[in-house]
A and B are shown apart, each in its own frame.
Chain A
Amino acid sequence: MLRASLCFFVLAWSLVAHALPPISARDVDFTGNHPMRNVDGPYADPEVTWSSSGTEAAPAISIDIDGNLSVKFEHYNNSDKSGTGVFQVYFAELLLPDSTTVPLQVNGNSGASASVSIPAYGSFWSPNFQISGWDPWIHGGQLRIGYLVDTTGIPGLVGYGMTREWRFLVNLEPPVGHMATVWHELLEETTAYAWGEDDPTQAGKDLTFGLYYAQRFAYPGQENLTSNWFDESNSFKLSTLLRTSGWVTGNCYDVAVYLHLLFESQGLSNEPLLRLCQRGPYDLRAFLSNDICPIGSDSTIPSNYNPIAWTNHCVVLFDGKIFDACLALQKAPDLSGYWNPPASWTSTQHWYVDHGQEFTGVAKRFIQPSEIISFDPPQFNFDLHLPHEMTQSEDTTFIFGGIL
């Protein structure tokens, strides 16, 4: 009702006055939200800033489930009238992708107002208004806030009102580590993968599955063993990756570090874990993997599962469990059909579990000297009839030099 009345006033005012109102909007500043950036650089803070060089606007803001968000608005009075007005935030809501809206609270109510001192020919900030009431799970939408500057008490000064909108992302925990200033692209990605989750482990599973099935990274197996997205000082080239659209090649380091960053964007502290196979024949670490379906291929097709020769494998370690978006396995640790990437598996479950005739996990056995045709270039003739055997991994944190 209020909004309908206001629309009427706008129409009436614009038909009669034929001029801009003397009060105009300037800056908007959220507090409590997470620092954000995208591939081009940091987002503006205040989130909207008017300046002589134009407008800088943050295209999104991020808050976690338990976050305390407040907002204030700056305006400029381009008239000689001054006095005390009323600044009213009369609604806040979150518009979801299914076109439903979640009403948000303003200072704990549906709306709030406070007096504001309006100088002549000067700028003035509104008080802070607390915004709350978004759902307690990972999601995103369009934050809409409607406000009025009521100047009824200042004769001759025309008031002002506006509805503003921001892309609004609710993540699980405040982003951490390399994502302390969270990259918008990654936050959108993780929001899509883990939509609706409120549990860290389940969110981690969603991120692992989401990345595996994203048709983003493709691991071409033995064709490509060097990492593609690290520079010579071992920094992950996130900017160039995000600028490259579509499917790209990546090995387990690329996938694990990217997954590590996805976890961090949702505030899930984790580490990329390098699993080196213990030394075997020839004093090599080379091992034959289980039949794996590498990231990028369709894991529902049995012929996409093949063994690969590796010396090491990089994964994500979160809450003591392994999350591996680089590959899918046909069987779960209990021998049931799985056909998905390992997520929240124990270290042992991920590496090797002996079930007698069968085994589960990533590592099947050492590569035998008789299977090595050539060291340079590496060429093998795998004897797929050789039985599985227990090997052990030597795990260490994979330390990389940051992100570019």
Chain B
Amino acid sequence: MTALLSLTTIFLSYNQAQSECKFNLFIPAERGFVLDLSRHHIDQLSNEISYLFFLRSSSKSSLSVDVGLRRSPRSKQTIEIESDPLFGYLNDRRGLPSKLSIGLEGWTPRGVSGSMKVVARFENASAQVTLHYTAHKEKGKPRFNNETWDEDIALVESLARQAMSIAVRWKLAGVGSSIDAGRESLIERGYVRLGPWMTSKGFTVTWDPMKRMATFTKGNQTIKLAEGSREGFDGSVRKDHGSLIVGLNGELWAKTSQLSSWIN
């Protein structure tokens, strides 16, 4: 006796063996982003990148956060394009709410658009945060659903600054290095904990968790310093303090040799 059955092939995704992203970042649940992908990738040139990818169903937008270490040189054509005086955008900070740069070079959004992207580099370490909106059609053109731009750019800046700190830690202490290893490497390179150091100079501290910016106040002097930046505001004057401020385990670390000269 013979049986005849009908079978429709069942779709079962086959997950390729890949390592997980080697960092974690916290995004408040109310922002609606749900983690969709977590990967770590090493390419043939030993460049390493870890990335997290989030989806937000409410506005059909996606968000990716990359932290990478480049071990191969940039191509000549890439350098030429990026350094073009008309379209190169080094160490820009206009599009960020804090108005302070991230890393030593990078790109920030120029204005409200269909996507926002922050690229921040510190030598061969990099952080990249990209948020994409989707669009609907109006008068023959796509109109992107970017009504939440202002709150999103604040989130993207926050993530980019945190990612820059992770990238610097990886550069100094190794990819995926622990908090303790990162702390040791910072101390070895002359970094100190910024909060206690400023407090010892008589400043009080407030912290903006979205801008990742600390505001130090003493008498008439206000100094603002942001994670992942080598710039700060001394009053209303933008200054360069010579090295990136690195966030580690909830604390800011800095080299203070140039910052000392800021203090009245």
A and B associate: yes
CB distance from B143 to the nearest CB of A (A): 9
Q: Which of A10, A37, A57, A226 contacts B2 (CB 8 A)?
A: A10
B45 contacts the other chain (Cβ, under 8 Å)? yes
Q: Say whether B68 contacts A233, CB under 8 Å.
A: yes
Question: Interface readout for B4-20 with A: 1 if CB under 8 Å, 0 if not?
Answer: 11111111111111100
Residues on A with C-beta less than 8 A from B1 are 9, 12-13, 17, 21, 158-159
- Beyond A233-B68, A284-B84, A377-B110, whether A165 also contacts B8 by CB under 8 A is yes
Cβ-neighbour of B62 out of A10, A233, A244, A276 (below 8 A):
A244
- Whether B239 sits at the interface, judged by CB under 8 Å, is no
Per-position binary interface string of chain A over residues 224-241, scored 1 when its CB falls under 8 Å from any chain B CB and 0 otherwise: 111010011111010110
Cβ proximity bits A30-63 to B, threshold 8 Å, 1 near / 0 not? 0000000110111110001000001111110000
- Determine which residue in A167, A228, A244 has the highest number of CB atoms from chain B within 10 A of its CB, and name it: A244
Name the residue in B3, B66, B115, B132 with the highest tally of chain A Cβ atoms < 10 Å from its Cβ: B3
CA distance A150 to B17 in the complex (A): 40
**B137 & A215 in contact (Cβ 8 Å cutoff):** yes
Q: Determine, out of B35-43, B180-188, B209-217, B224-232, the stretch whose residues face the partner at the interface.
A: B35-43
Contact: A163 with B6, CB < 8 Å?
yes
Least Cβ–Cβ distance between A321 and chain B, in angstroms: 22
For A3-37 the 0/1 string (1 means CB < 8 A from B) is 10011011011100100010001000000000001
Residue B238 at the chain A interface, CB threshold 8 Å: no
Q: Does A76 contact B (CB under 8 A)?
A: no
B161 within 8 A of partner (CB): no
Of A13, A233, A243, which contacts B53 at CB under 8 A?
A: A243
- A247 adjacent to B144 (CB under 8 Å): yes
Of all chain A residues, which has the CB nearest B134? Answer: A246
How many chain A residues sit at the interface, stated as a range, is 35 or more
Residues from chain B with Cβ under 8 Å of A161 in the complex: 2-5
Contact between B142 and A224 (Cβ–Cβ < 8 Å)?
Answer: no
The residues of A with any CB-CB pair to B shorter than 8 Å are 3, 6-7, 9-10, 12-14, 17, 21, 25, 37-38, 40-44, 48, 54-59, 146, 148-150, 158-167, 215, 218, 220, 223-226, 228, 231-235, 237, 239-240, 243-249, 274, 276, 282, 284-286, 296-298, 300-301, 304, 309, 311-312, 372, 375, 377-378, 396, 398-399, 401-402, 404
Given contacts A13-B2, A228-B130, A399-B77, 8 further A-B contacts (CB under 8 A): A40-B15, A41-B14, A59-B12, A162-B7, A218-B144, A235-B49, A240-B53, A249-B114
